[in-house]
Structure 1
Amino acid sequence: MDWRAWHQRYDDPGSELARRLLTVQAQVRDALDRAPAGPIPVISLCAGQGRDLLGVLRDHPRAADVRARLVELDPELAATAREQAPENVEVVTGDASLTDQYDGFVPAELLLLTGIFGNITNTDIQRTIAGARMFCRTGATVIWTRHREEPDLVPSICDWFGRVGFEDVWVSDKEAGFGVGVHRFTGVPEPLVKGERLFSFVPGGV
């Protein structure tokens, strides 16, 4: 997959990817709106150019409260995010599937898992969802995406989140052509276990 070419589709306002981005950003805004007073730690896995978060921070009234770590493997995409990121957003060029990347930055108030679940196996999706308990503080928001092509896994993903202490907040309609889900963590954060790999991308997606 040429991820740099894939990201260019964001610049076409009529593309499904651009419409999904607007939906994700709206949910990010809502998550920041309801965050408790004080610092808002944010983690983004496979962050790409950071558009999900950076586009919101440009004008959000609580932007200064955010302390974010964006992890992206592709050095060019990470460099683009780093150029646009404010001082309170750290961009790491590295493998986002490794739990070590988040040491010292968990638990977070907002966890972004966008652009991942359509590129990994069902087993890895479930492993990543279970691992989110290490990344989230109680009450934290998780935003994730997944395509709605058959087999449509969105209902199963919602169920998997529910089994490990996350409650549904919002899921996009199937008619939108893409899946965006929002969950709130109602459990107790688990200690970060370093040295674990949560997922591996499948060539060509799933």
Structure 2
Amino acid sequence: MTRDWYAWHHHYEDPTSSLSRRLVEVRQRIGAALDEAPPGPLRAVSLCAGQGRDLIPVLASHRRGREVRARLVELDPRNVELARAAAREAGLSSVEVVLGDAARTDAYAGLVPADLVLACGIFGNISDAHVRDLVRHCASLCATGGTVLWTRHRKPPDLVPVICEWFAAEGFEPVAVSTPAEDIGVGEHRFLGPPRPLPAGATMFEFTMGRQDTQPG
């Protein structure tokens, strides 16, 4: 059964939900990444961006928000319209919201390697093998010194320690990873290696039919 990713966003309206608490953490880490980024224009890409609730409000309020050229890729047209409206209302003319398959590498052509890559709500909804593939592709999406923010539940089987090993193998260093006790599953890694070419026409992952992550997005 296909999940309604538009209706799913209603969980954000409950401030006590794990999803809302995780959103707060992701926004804080986006802001910190912008604080630490080198001076000058910045690039950001968001995979499976939903309604843009993580990135757009931060860019709207952060002192460097107008320096960021961003592309949000989302498949649900209802979410796309809401994200576009949010960007317009915030006056973020450099934020582009694309209706398309976020798993396809072509969606990011011309904007990678990026200084900030958001892969939130994905790792808990794809197979372990596809998680590994997406981590590998993050080394093509991310600029040297850039940040990848990702999410994954910490319930058994807890894949987060293995994900961190996969990031390390691709040239990333950990910045922060939430503990199982925090129950919100947010990770941040910085890319230390040289950017790799992003293959054209490739599929980086596929969503599974069964739901694994109770806190996607």
The reply to whether TM is greater than 0.5 is yes
Match of 1:36 in 2: 38
Match of 1:205 in 2: 211
Q: What is the rounded CA distance, in whole Å, between the counterparts of 1:66 and 1:11 in structure 2?
A: 27
Alignment of 1:135-154 (within 5 A): 135-154=141-160
Runs of 4+ in 1 over 4 A off after TM superposition: none
Match of 1:10 in 2: 12
Match of 1:167 in 2: 173
Q: What is the rounded CA distance, in whole Å, between the counterparts of 1:22 and 1:158 in structure 2?
A: 22
Residue 172 of structure 1 deviates from its aligned partner by 1.0
Residue 38 of structure 1 deviates from its aligned partner by 0.6
Residue 177 of structure 1 deviates from its aligned partner by 1.2
The residue type equivalent to 2:58 in the other structure is: V
Alignment of 1:100-115 (within 5 A): 100-115=106-121
Match of 1:67 in 2: 69
Sequence identity percentage = 53
Structure 2, unaligned stretches of length 5 or more? 213-217
Q: Which secondary structure does the structure 2 equivalent of 1:184 belong to?
A: strand
Residue 174 of structure 1 deviates from its aligned partner by 1.2
TM-score, with structure 1 as normaliser: 0.98
Among 51, 54, 59, which residue is 1:52 paired with?
A: 54
Match of 2:215 in 1: none
* Contact kept in structure 1, 2:44 and 2:70, CA below 8 Å: yes
Alignment of 1:84-99 (within 5 A): 84-85=86-87, 86-99=92-105
Residue 87 of structure 1 deviates from its aligned partner by 0.7
Match of 1:130 in 2: 136
Q: What is the rounded CA distance, in whole Å, between the counterparts of 2:173 and 2:180 in structure 1?
A: 19
Equivalent residue pairs, number: 206
Residue 204 of structure 1 deviates from its aligned partner by 2.6
Q: What is the rounded CA distance, in whole Å, between the counterparts of 1:50 and 1:176 in structure 2?
A: 24
Residue 178 of structure 1 deviates from its aligned partner by 2.0
Q: Which secondary structure does the structure 1 equivalent of 2:185 belong to?
A: strand
Q: What is the rounded CA distance, in whole Å, between the counterparts of 1:205 and 1:122 in structure 2?
A: 13
Q: CA RMSD in A?
A: 0.7
Q: What is the rounded CA distance, in whole Å, between the counterparts of 1:162 and 1:8 in structure 2?
A: 35
Q: Which secondary structure does the structure 1 equivalent of 2:168 belong to?
A: helix
Q: What is the rounded CA distance, in whole Å, between the counterparts of 2:57 and 2:13 in structure 1?
A: 13
Structure 1, unaligned stretches of length 5 or more? none
Residue 192 of structure 1 deviates from its aligned partner by 1.6
The residue type equivalent to 1:13 in the other structure is: P
Q: What is the rounded CA distance, in whole Å, between the counterparts of 1:64 and 1:173 in structure 2?
A: 33
The residue type equivalent to 2:107 in the other structure is: Q
The residue type equivalent to 1:25 in the other structure is: R
